[in-house]
Amino acid sequence: MRSMTKTTQKMIFGIILTGSMLGFFWMAWSRIANEPLVRSRLMMGTIIEITAYDRGAEAAITAAFARMQQIEAAIGRQEFSDLNRLAAQAGGRPLKVGDDTWQILSLAAEYWQKTDGAFDVTVNPLLELWGFGYDGEGNFPEPAAIQAALPKVGGNKLLLFPEKREIQLVKPGMSLTVGGIAKGYAVEEAAKVLKRNGIKNAMINGGSSIKVIGDGPGGRGWRIGVENPREAGRLVGVIVLHSGDAMGTSADNKRFFIRDSHRYSHIIDPRTGWPAPEKMTLVTVVTRNAATADILTKALFLNDLNWSMRFLEQENLKAVLIDTQGKIHTTPGFQLLRQS
């Protein structure tokens, strides 16, 4: 075989070099595209963190946060937010509200009925009375004050007029709290924004409210630890979320006070005026919607275990409940993985 000319050798070397460079750039792009972009912001009373793995993630995350800020403005503490306007008009005529407020309160009204009144956004007068309003750490009110506040509470006093998208608070002194639903609703809406922007793998983590898109890096699902409410930093197990899943959690160890050896948490029963009975320490629910997951964790905390397990079975939902004795209750077929 004749030896290659110098020109041929140069051509072959150029082809090899070009191929190597293309391979290098492909590997570099692949690495960058599959590394997560993580961004966090303080909103809705907590740190919201969004993790995304796709190209264009920066713009998509920015748009998702903007959507959440839009929701917060509608139902937040600003003077002219929908909730403050409704409170100022309580006992008077119906008021027209924005789309987000309407969606949130419509869903709240639906679940007030479904949960036998356990979830109730009109509970705010009681929440304030117990000192668990915005950033409140709690205090023990006079029993007479509790009784005086109860007539201002009740989902049947929250009227919705769909044809005009108007809402009325029937009794003077009524006010609303959407702390048990708004964050989940905002997380769900943020997920819609991410998907519209081409994101196929992401997690929105609002602490007590989580939503995932795709099955995560490696396609094996997103592993979320469930913390023991009585031992900070220690997990009782791991839940694996798959594409479209949402997870909500409520626990009695975040906002509470202790009086005469009794723990009084921020989860107030609107039917009695008193904090949740000392039966559960943690409730985690997995659904396909972050807003309903948020709602149900509060309702399951307040209703007894038998009611909760029946409800979860009827709704075909997955849940983990930990009682005050430390016993873990799960819905049939739902596996809580051990920490590896």
Output the known binding site for Mg(2+). 180, 294
Q: Are 191 and 205 in contact (CB under 8 A)?
A: no
CA distances from 29 to 26, 34, 38, 178 (A): 5, 8, 18, 43
Q: How far apart are CA 92 and CA 94, in angstroms?
A: 7
Question: Which residues make up each annotated binding site?
Answer: 180, 294
Q: Are 192 and 212 in contact (CB under 8 A)?
A: no
* CA 58 to chain CA mean position, Å: 22
* CA 299 to chain CA mean position, Å: 14
Residues 6+ apart with CB under 8 A from 318: 285, 286, 287, 312, 330, 331, 334
Q: How far apart are CA 37 and CA 51, in angstroms?
A: 6
Q: How far apart are CA 255 and CA 39, in angstroms?
A: 26
Which long-range contacts does 252-257 make (Cβ < 8 Å, 24+ apart)?
Answer: 252/276, 252/278, 252/280, 252/281, 252/282, 252/301, 253/229, 253/281, 255/132, 255/136, 255/137, 255/138, 256/138, 257/137, 257/138, 257/139, 257/140
